[in-house]
Amino acid sequence: MMKIDPHTYAEGFISEDEFQIRARARGLEVGAKDASTGVGSYLRALAHQLSAQSVVEVGTGSGVGSLWILGGMITSGTLTSIDDETEHSRIARIAMQDADIAPSRYRLITNSIMDVMTKLTDRAYDLVVLRHNPEDLTYTIEEAHRILRSGGVMVIDGFFGGGKVSDPSQRDPRTIALREAGKTVKGATDLWVSTLITVGDGLLIATKL
C-alpha cells in the first residue's frame, strides 16, 4: 500500500464539490491562480469561526476560493472579490451562477487592486484574503489593516512562493516581496498577532489587534 505524506493527506482531507471542480478547470484554461483544496477548506472554516459577514478577497482567480469562503460565511454576508483580469472575473461569475449563489452575496470587481482597496470602508471587514501579485503586498497589507475590524484576520495565500521564500539564494522580485511582507507582519507586534501554517503553498495569518 502506498504511503501518503501528511501534506498531501491534509490537502485532500476535504473534497471539492462539483462546482469548485468545474471552476478550477476553467481557471486552469486561463492560467488563473486559485486556492488549493486545503487552503479553500481552511478559509471556509476560518470564515465560519469568525461568523464572517463581510470579506474581501484580492485575487479572484476562477472563483474557487470565493466558493469556499462563501461556504463558511453567514448566509446574510457579502464577499467582495477583486481582480484586475477581466477574464478571471468573467469565469468567476460563471462559477457563482453555476453554484446558484445569490447575486446579493457577492461583488466581483474588475479594476486596479489599489484603486478598489483604497475605497473600502475602515474597520468594516472580518476577513481579508490576499492572493495576488506579491509585489502589491506593501500596500495591500496596510489597506487590509485599515479595513479590518479589531479581531479581524488577514491571510496571505501562497506565502511560500513555490518553496522559494525559505531559500536565501532566491532573490527574484516576487520572492523578495513575500519575504519582506513576512518581516513586516511578524515585526508589527503592536498591530498583528501572526503565525505561519503549512497548508497549500503556505498561509501567513495575522489577526488585527
Q: What secondary structure letter does DSSP report for 66?
A: H
pLDDT at residue number 6? 87
Structure-model confidence comparison of residues 160 and 5, the more confident one:
160
Measured in residues, the chain has a length of 209
pLDDT tens, residue by residue, 34-87:
999 999 999 999 999 999 999 999 999 999 999 999 999 999 999 999 999 999
pLDDT at residue number 81? 98
pLDDT at residue number 2? 76
Q: How confident is the model at residue 105 (pLDDT cuts 50, 70, 90)?
A: very high
List, in order of start, the domains of the chain with CATH numbers. 14-208 (3.40.50.150)
pLDDT at residue number 4? 86
Residue 3 has pLDDT above 90, yes or no: no
Mean pLDDT, to the nearest integer, of 183-193? 97
Q: Is 151 helix (H, G, I), strand (E, B) or coil?
A: strand
Cross-strand pairs, 127: 55, 153
pLDDT at residue number 5? 87
pLDDT at residue number 78? 98
Mean pLDDT, to the nearest integer, of 197-204? 96
* pTM given for the model: 0.96
Residue 128 has pLDDT above 80, yes or no: yes
Residue 109 has pLDDT above 80, yes or no: yes
Instruction: Calculate the alpha carbon distances from 166 to 47, 59, 169, 193, 201 in Å.
Output: 28, 23, 9, 21, 12
pLDDT at residue number 1? 76
Count of Cβ atoms closer than 10 Å to residue 196 Cβ:
16
